[in-house]
Amino acid sequence: MFKKILIANRGEIALRILRACRELGIKTVAIHSDADEAAMHVRMSDESICVGPASAQSSYLNIPAIITSATMSNVDAIHPGYGFLSENKRFAEIIEEHNIKFIGPSSEHIGMMGNKILAKKIMIDNGVPVVPGIDKVNDENEIKSFIKKVELPVIIKASSGGGGKGMRVVYKEEDLQESIAAAKVESKKSFNDDTVYIEKFLTKPKHIEIQILSDSHGNVVTLGERDCSIQRKHQKLIEESPSNLLTSEQRKEISSLCQKAIKTIGYEGAGTIEFLFENGKFYFMEMNTRLQVEHPVTEMVTGIDLVREQIEIANGKKLSIKQEDINLKGHSIECRINAEHPENFIPSPGTITQYHQPGGLGIRVDSAVYQGYSIPSHYDSMIGKLITYADNRSECISKMKRALEEYVIMGINTNIQLHQKIIKSKEFISGKYDINFLSKFLQFK
C-alpha cells in the first residue's frame, strides 16, 4: 500500500480523502493557500505545504508548486479530489512523468472523456444511447438539416465544457449563429478550447448518473444511479439515490451498457456516466473521470467506501466486490450547504460565529468548517454536505427535514432555508421533478 499521499485539494473533500488515508494507515500531505492556513484539512494532515497566495490560480491550480511539494515530501501518490485539477489531462501526465501515481484514470482516459465529442462517439460504438447531435457547426446546410430532423429547441455545448459554461439554448433559428459565436467565446475563455457542438434540447428530462468502479485487471462494477435533477444554472444542489422513477429492468439495462463501454476502453478508477432521462429513455451526456461531490449517497445505499476503493485501485489491487454483490439498500439524500444568500445566491464569505451540526442515526455531515473558521472569498461557496439515510425515501425525507432544522451556522448566510422549502414541496415529495424544477420553484414560490 502507498505510504504517503498528497491531497491536491481543499475543504470537505480534502478532509474526506484524509480520513480514508488514515483508516488505511497512509500518511497525508495537505497543500494549502495563504488563505487556508487555518483550514481543517491542514490541521489534521501529517504534513502541510503552502503552495501560493489566496487565488486558486496561484495555489490549487499551480501545477509546478504542487509537483514540487509532492517531490519534496516524497509521496507515492496524489489524490486530486474533485474540481481544480482533477480532470486536467496535463496535470495527470506530469504526475505520471514524475513516477508518482495519480489516483484516478490515466491521462489518456481523462483526455478521451474530457472531449465530449469523442466521448459521445465511444458511447455510440458501445451501444449506449446518446442525445442526437452534430459536431460540424460551420456547415449551415448540415445544421438546417439537423434542425429540420429533430426540431427546435437545440442546445450548443462546449466540447471541453462542464458546469454549464459554453452552453446556449436556441429556440429560434435566427438566433443560432449568434448563439454559436457566444458559446465559442465563453468556451475559449473557460477551457482554452472554442470547439462546440449542437444537440437536441430535451425540455423536461431528469439528470441521472451511473457510478462505476474499474480496476487495472479488467474488472468493472456499477453502483446504481443518482438523481441529480435539482440544479441551479446547471449546478447540482440536491442529489438522491436510488431514483424513484427507474424500474429494476431500466437500471440493469443502462448499468450493463455502461459496464461494457468502460471495459472496452480499459478505464481505471472511479467514474460517473451522466445521462438525461426523458419519457423512459436514457441519453448520454458526458463522463466525469473523478470522484463526484455527491458520492456519499452512493456510499450510503451500497455500503462501499468509494475513496478507499479509488486508493486501492490506484495501488494495483483487484476490486474486492463483484457486480452480483452490489445491492442498493434503503435511500439516501444529499443537500449541498453553500455559504450564500438563500434568495439572491450572493456568496457570503466571513467568520462562523456559531456552529452546530445535526446528528443521530442516518445523519452524515461532510464538512471542514468549525466555529471561528473564516470562509475565504476566493473559492466555491460550498462549505459542506448534509446526507441522510433511511430504509425508504419517505423516512429519508423526514430525517432531512429534522437535520436541516437542527443545523446551525451563524455569522454568514447559507442556503439551509432554501433546502427546507424544497424538500417540503409537493414536487420533491412526489419525486416527479425534473431539471427545470428549481427555476420554476424560485419563480413562483
Q: What is the mean pLDDT of residues 287-295?
A: 97
Averaged pLDDT for residues 187-212: 93
Give the mean pLDDT of 134-144: 90
The reported pLDDT for the residue numbered 412 is: 98
Residue 190 has pLDDT above 90, yes or no: no
> Is 164 a residue whose pLDDT tops 80?
no
Domains annotated for the chain, with CATH where assigned, are: 4-86 (3.40.50.20), 132-200 (3.30.1490.20), 206-444 (3.30.470.20)
Distance of CA 71 to the CA centre of its chain: 28
At 384 the pLDDT is 98
- Beta-carbon contacts of residue 431 (< 8 Å; ≥ 6 apart): 243, 244, 245, 393
**Does residue 132 register a pLDDT over 70?**
yes
> Can you tell me the distance from the alpha carbon of 291 to that of 285, in angstroms, rounded to the nearest whole number?
17
> Average pLDDT of 321-348?
95
User: Rounded distance, CA 385 to CA 368, Å?
Assistant: 10
Distance CA 288, CA 273 (A): 6
Copy the grid coordinates of residue 135. 459536431
Cell numbers of 249, please? 429492468
Q: What is the structure's pLDDT at 444?
A: 67
Residue 221 β-bridge partners: 213
Residue 391 pLDDT > 70, yes or no? yes
Q: Tell me how far apart the alpha carbons of residues 229 and 196 are, in angstroms, rounded to a whole number.
A: 24
Instruction: Report helix angle 116-125 to 107-114, nearest 10.
Output: 90
Instruction: Give dist(CA 419, CA 238) in Å, integer.
Output: 8
Residue (of 11, 7, 10, 9) closest to 369 by Cα position: 11
Residue 445 in this model has a pLDDT that exceeds 60? no
The pLDDT of residue 163 is above 80 = no
Percent of the chain beyond pLDDT 90? 91
Give strand pairing partners of 79.
Answer: 7
**CA nearest neighbour of 130 among 82, 219, 197:** 197
Q: How many CA atoms lie within 13 A of 242 on its CB side?
A: 19
CA atoms within 13 A on the CB side of 163: 12
Helix/strand/coil percentages in the chain, nearest 5: 35, 25, 35
d(Cα 95, Cα 97) in Å, to the nearest integer?
Answer: 5
- pLDDT at 108 > cutoff 90: yes
DSSP, residue by residue, 354-380 = EEE---STTEEEEE---TTPEEPSSS-
User: Would you give the end-to-end CA distance of the chain in angstroms?
Assistant: 52
pTM over 0.85: yes
Give the type of residue at 208.
Answer: I
Longest dimension (CA), the chain: 61
pLDDT for 117 beyond 90: no
Per-residue model confidence as pLDDT tens digits over 233-276: 889 999 999 999 999 999 999 999 999 999 999 999 999 999 99
- Which residue in this structure is represented by grid cell 462562523? 352
Other Cβ atoms less than 10 A from the Cβ of 279: the count is 7
The values of phi and psi at residue 6, to 5°, are -90, 130
Q: What pLDDT score was predicted for residue 191?
A: 86
Contacts of 168 (CB under 8 A, 6+ apart): 155, 156, 179, 180, 182, 183
> Order of strands, edge to edge, in the sheet holding 196-200?
133-134, 196-200, 154-158, 168-170
What kind and span of H or E run contains 225? strand 220-232
Rounded-to-integer distance, Cα 281 and Cα 352, Å: 45
Question: Which positions are annotated as active-site residues?
Answer: 290
Give the DSSP letter of residue 42.
Answer: H
Q: What integer pLDDT is reported at residue 154 of this predicted model?
A: 95
Per-residue pLDDT tens digits for 67-100: 999 999 999 999 999 999 999 999 999 999 999 9
Strand order in the sheet with 27-33: 47-52, 27-33, 4-7, 77-79, 101-102
Rounded to 10 degrees, the C-alpha dihedral 163/282/159/435 comes to -30
**Cβ-contact 392, 413 below 8 angstroms:** no
Amino acid identity of 250? Q
Task: State the CB neighbour count (10 A cutoff) for residue 149.
Answer: 10
As given in the structure block, the three cell numbers for residue 228 are: 441529480
Q: What is the pLDDT of residue 372?
A: 98
CA distance 281 to 278: 5
Give percent of the chain above pLDDT 70. Answer: 99
